Amino acid sequence: MIEVCSVSKYFGEKQILHNINTQFEEGKVNLIIGRSGSGKTVLMKCLVGLHSPEEGKVLYSGREFHNMPDIDKQKLRTEMGMVFQGAALFDSMTIGENVAFPLDMFTQMSDGEKNDRVDFCLECVDLQNVNSLYPAELSGGMKKRAAIARALACNPKYLFFDEPNSGLDPKTSLLIDELITKITHDFNTTTIVNTHDMNSIITIGETISFIYQGFLEWTGNSHTILSSDNHNLNDFIFAQPLVQRIKK
């Protein structure tokens, strides 16, 4: 479980996050939702340690992350996997080498064991025969899946996804959502997904935190979100004509 306790983040004079308190549960898909510029990416970067919050703390299974010694922080980071908005695959490496990279760095596996693990991770995300291709040779959806395979390589306890559906067609988007749910339940990971994709919100959100202008406005799940009486949340959820029509 990841607990966020009174986290505030400033960029210069500007306060981006205001006293955020929430928790992300183990074995569940936890969503952070909100409009663009609401602070959800900053919150995710605070969770993974790319930003340090000025106030508050982030606890990983009770261990405070930002005040840890660097060695412990690096050890904890080996338990994390993150899939970035643009996949962030290493351009100079093939897909096979990308997935094997965390194994090369952190394990003493033999080449055979590494190859087996790479094949297994790529199979999990339904990618075959791409080991020798470079990221530039893959489509957007395939890159995202390869990035998920790389994030899975070291068997992470915590998985982070930054806007996994952005730039993907509805069908591929659905596939990624299914994959996120499957991985979370199969490997019992604490999964945190940063999204504003309505389909993801309704179908995969087992816990949902809604951020509005840097404040945590609402927490709930995909069953309760459509019946919420929070004005800002309803504004966000029912912004699209299609969702308005479904509501009617």
What backbone torsions phi and psi does residue 209 show, to the nearest 5 degrees?
-115, 125
Q: Which is nearer to other proteins, 48 or 226 (CB)?
A: 48
Q: Which of residues 23-62 bind other proteins (CB under 8 A)?
A: 48-50
Q: Which is nearer to other proteins, 10 or 90 (CB)?
A: 90
Window of 15-23, 35-43, 69-77, 206-214 that interacts with other proteins by CB under 8 A: 69-77
Taking CB under 8 A as the rule, does residue 239 contact other proteins? no
Taking CB under 8 A as the rule, does residue 90 contact other proteins? yes
* Residue 129 φ/ψ region, left for φ over 0, alpha for ψ in the -120 to 50 degree band, beta for the rest: left
The H or E element containing residue 88 is none
- Please answer whether residues 1 and 23 qualify as being in contact, where contact means their C-beta atoms are separated by less than 8 angstroms: yes
Query: Please, which residues have CB within 8 angstroms of residue 127's CB and are 6 or more apart in sequence?
Result: 95, 142, 145, 146, 149
Window of 15-23, 75-83, 165-173, 203-211 that interacts with other proteins by CB under 8 A: 75-83
> Could you tell me the smallest distance in angstroms from the CB atom of residue 239 to other proteins?
28
Collapsing DSSP to helix, strand or coil, 240 comes out as coil
Q: Which is nearer to other proteins, 90 or 120 (CB)?
A: 90
Contact characters 92-111, other proteins, x per CB under 8 A: ---------xx-xxx-----
Taking CB under 8 A as the rule, does residue 139 contact other proteins? no
> Could you tell me the smallest distance in angstroms from the CB atom of residue 41 to other proteins?
11
- The Cα 119–Cα 134 span in angstroms is 16
- The Cα 222–Cα 230 span in angstroms is 15
Q: Which is nearer to other proteins, 94 or 228 (CB)?
A: 94
DSSP output for 26-69: TTSEEEEE--TTSSHHHHHHHHHTSS--SEEEEEETTEESTTS-
The H or E element containing residue 184 is helix 170-187
- The Cα 98–Cα 153 span in angstroms is 10
Q: Which is nearer to other proteins, 85 or 199 (CB)?
A: 85
Taking CB under 8 A as the rule, does residue 72 contact other proteins? no
Taking CB under 8 A as the rule, does residue 114 contact other proteins? no
Q: Name the site residues for other proteins (rule: CB under 8 A).
A: 48-50, 73-78, 80-82, 84-86, 88-91, 101-102, 104-106, 160
